Amino acid sequence: MIRYSHVQAWVDRMAAMCQPDDIYWCDGSEEERRRLTAVAVAHGELIELNQHALPGCYLHRTAEHDVARTEHLTYICTSFQGDAGPTNNWMSPRVAYHRAREIFAGSMKGRTMYVVPFAMGPIGSPFSKIGIELTDSVYVVLNMRIMTRMGEAVLDSLGPHGEFTQCLHSKADLDVERRLILHFPEDNAIWSVGSGYGGNVLLGKKCLALRIASVLAQREKWLAEHMLILGIEEPNGHIQYVAAAFPSACGKTNLAMLLPPDGLMRKGYRIWTVGDDIAWLRIDTDGRLWGVNPEMGFFGVVPGTNSKTNPNAVRTISHDTIYTNIALRRDGTVWWEGHDDPPPEQAIDWQGRPWQPGTADRDGKIILSSHPNSRFTAPFTNCPAHSFRYEEHHGVPISAIIFGGRRPTLCPLVHEALSWDHGVYIGATLASERTAAQAGAVGEIRRDPMAMLPFCGYNMADYFGHWLDMGTRLTRPPKIFSVNWFRTDENGTLLWPGFGENLRIIEWILARCRDEVAGVQTPIGYVPHPKDIDMTGLELSDGAMQKLLAVNGEAWLAELDAIREFFDQFGPRLPDPLWAQHEALRQRLLTAKQVT
Ligand code: GTP
Ligand code: SPV
Ligand code: MN
């Protein structure tokens, strides 16, 4: 393993601050995985599961208050506050380093510091980014090994002056009061301390591949997005790819792995999973947008995963998977809410306590066996539908971009933007119910532009401007759509069955991209003629499709007020074309009101 001096010098500096007992450089080998797994099991960091039923699978439990990303402790640290923008927490680099140093100092005493070299994207690709994470958590090492291309080959490819993102992580004492997730775009550095949970500590993922990468992407004129990429193969062998941005825990993994419902199976569709969380998108020489998934694994939501909702995920997580915060059954297998099996009579819950179904806490709330944000970490190639293109540098051509969220009311099942700029407006005004993927109240609607609110590493007004600019560079831009799988009726019942059935909507989207079907023009964009959605084998209740596709002008006008308020916080930095789109939409809604 080559230890270039600029890497060694940085490792030495960080070690002097954190004071680990020893330093271990990860080579990424299988032998190393076995050895470190044994260490984690010996220390109780991992629980070995029943290796007959779940070969290569382990269970990890995080600390009680360390179960989701903590957005209020996540900062963008730039010299000027304006560069972080009104939607990010900001700290000056000087203050941030100072505060973090106090927590990092001596935090690794009695522990090993692991040096984890990793690549986001194929090693050696001009589009890939290299990071090195220093961590005192074996769990982090074993997760990074699944989620990224990790090990010796990365260090060797770096070169004597190669640039890498400096990623420093320490669990410290896992105290939420002494937790900071700091990003230094000006230094290409990330410091995370006081957490052991996924997005806070697997620094290649949200921290590097989105927050830091979004800054690089603006500079280098590409896009780093919180998107899945999915390929839809038709019987004639043509594959069309779509990229979709949904906020956390709103259905990316499920859509990325979808299995066609029986009614559509007969058409001979085949689905290819390219990515389920992050997409790096570039304009290629053909003037089209091409996407790669920089990750090598899935860090997916466990609850609700079963052979009806997501059979590909069930197979993906049947071996060589690390489970976090789910229930342990007596036979050494696992269970969660929404599992294929009925609830076990007794189990050990995600916090390691005895659990029985139906038990309530003191406030009368049913105690869940698994945390709602419990996760699996599984290798990309475990997925039976994984695309064979994952090592290709230029990725796959994107035909459509889809934005979606959880909106019980207002947003139709699907609608299509009138233009690229209108699509950017739809993305910029995306809103969704909050989920368990971030600490805080669940259920309230919040604006989450492009599903990037917690992940954009710079001023979001500039980010919108960058999206608009990308449109002018694309000679064959993807069409932009909005979807909402979560619309409900007056009683709060979901109108759309979702999951595999969503392919019916993707089918319409692709037909629109090929100019094969007409849409119905509404003030907010094109919605489908109901007859153009293939409903073979799926029956909805009476009038459900009308409700799903309805555009309520009054409600949209009220929505515009909320959008104005959201836009106003960016002041004059918000690009004019977005205000123009806003005003044009208002005019279309008012005109439609007069007509009816
Ligand atoms: P992150 O990993 O947090 O970025 O989440 P994600 O966007 O990948 O979400 P995921 O696919 O894991 O789904 C999250 C939750 O939404 C799960 O509990 C699913 O059961 C549920 N879900 C996913 N797709 C659908 C759908 O089409 N309809 C309904 N009703 N629920 C869905
Ligand atoms: C998300 O919250 O969007 C995730 C999980 O994908 S985490 O890696 O924790 O951010
Ligand atoms: Mn995500």
pLDDT for 443-473, tens place per residue? 889 999 999 999 999 999 999 999 999 999 9
Q: By alpha-carbon position, which residue is closest to atom 10 of ligand 1?
A: 251
Query: What was the pLDDT predicted at 596?
Result: 66
Return the ligand 1 atom nearest residue 247 CA: 7
| Separation CA 279–CA 277 (nearest Å) | 7
Residue corresponding to tokens 């909005």: 482
Strand extents, DSSP E, 121-226: 129-135, 149-150, 165-170, 180-184, 189-193, 223-225
- Indicate the top mutation candidate among 148, 192, 248, 442 to test ligand 2's pocket, ranked by most ligand atoms within 8 A of CB: 248
The DSSP result for 48-70, as a single string, is E--TTTSTT-EEE---TT-SSB-
The DSSP result for 547-565, as a single string, is HHH---HHHHHHHHHHHHH
For the question of residue 18 being annotated catalytic, the response is: no
Query: What was the pLDDT predicted at 554?
Result: 96
Query: Full-prediction pTM beyond 0.85?
Result: yes
Distance 247 CA to ligand 2 centre (A): 9
Rounded to 10 degrees, what is the CA torsion of 97, 101, 102, 104?
A: 140
Distance 455 CA to ligand 2 centre (A): 10
Task: Give the pocket of ligand 2 (CB within 6 Å).
Answer: 69, 198-199, 205-206, 248, 277, 299, 437
Q: Are 423 and 309 in contact (CB under 8 A)?
A: no
pLDDT for 173-210, tens place per residue? 999 999 999 999 999 999 999 999 999 999 999 999 99
95 sits in which H/E element: helix 93-104
Number of helices and strands (H, E) in the chain?
Answer: 16, 31
Q: By alpha-carbon position, which residue is closest to atom 4 of ligand 1?
A: 248
pLDDT in tens, the chain (596 residues): 889 999 999 999 999 999 999 999 999 999 999 999 999 999 999 999 999 999 999 999 999 999 999 999 999 999 999 999 999 999 999 999 999 999 999 999 999 999 999 999 999 888 899 999 999 999 999 999 999 999 999 999 999 999 999 999 999 999 999 999 999 999 999 999 999 999 999 999 999 999 999 999 999 999 999 999 999 998 889 999 999 999 999 999 999 999 999 989 899 999 999 999 999 999 999 999 999 999 999 999 999 999 999 999 999 999 999 999 999 999 999 999 999 999 999 999 999 999 999 999 999 999 999 999 999 999 999 999 999 999 988 899 999 999 999 999 999 999 999 999 999 999 999 999 998 888 887 888 999 999 999 999 999 999 999 999 999 999 999 999 999 999 999 999 999 999 999 999 999 999 999 999 999 999 999 999 999 999 999 999 999 999 999 999 999 999 999 999 999 999 999 999 999 999 999 999 999 988 76
- Indicate the top mutation candidate among 246, 254, 433 to test ligand 1's pocket, ranked by most ligand atoms within 8 A of CB: 254
> Cβ contacts of residue 91 below 8 Å, gap of 6+?
75, 77, 99, 182
Distance 588 CA to ligand 3 centre (A): 34
Q: For residue 164, count other CB atoms closer than 10 A to its CB.
A: 22
Q: Of 183, 71, 69, which Cα lies nearest the Cα of 457?
A: 183
Token pair belonging to 212:
């830091």
Catalytic residue from among 26, 57, 77, 250? 250
Distance 67 CA to ligand 2 centre (A): 11
- Protein residues within 5 Å, CB atom, of ion ligand 3: 248, 277
Query: What was the pLDDT predicted at 392?
Result: 87
Return the ligand 1 atom nearest residue 501 CA: 27
| Separation CA 88–CA 354 (nearest Å) | 40
